Structure 1
């Protein structure tokens, strides 16, 4: 089954969107954007528990991360992210 995406091609930074697959007590997805990228972040309930859903409207890509994956991000050195940014997406 294809995933539903929040409405709007390029939402404004800080906008609250209606996303039908987001559940729980919350105001809605969060848009984080600057001149280089914009992402829509929301909490989703899956059959394997809660995930953080990160959607890139510009690229049309999405990833869902669980608590262990998010925790792993929290102890990475800044150089890890620098190396990730040097790679070509999808390459």
Structure 2
């Protein structure tokens, strides 16, 4: 994915997310502008142990092929739950900064 840095206005390709472990086992996933003079950081999302457990449950269910209707429904519900929890965690982390 190609993005523009808001700080130096250079275009760069996002190749991978970096990870930083913060307090209370919260992980921050972010990209960094590759421009040596800039290196602005952009947070993609945060995860905590509960979110990572739900993500693992999604991966485990998704490995089963073909998925039955009940399993597909459960995966969708888990994804919504992860998204909701991640949004709340991101808000909480940004309020604290």
TM-score bucket (shorter structure): 0.3 to 0.5
- Structure 2 length-normalised TM: 0.34
Greater per-residue helix proportion:
2
Higher relative contact order (CA 8 A, sep 6+): 2
Greater per-residue strand proportion:
1
- Structure 1 length-normalised TM: 0.36
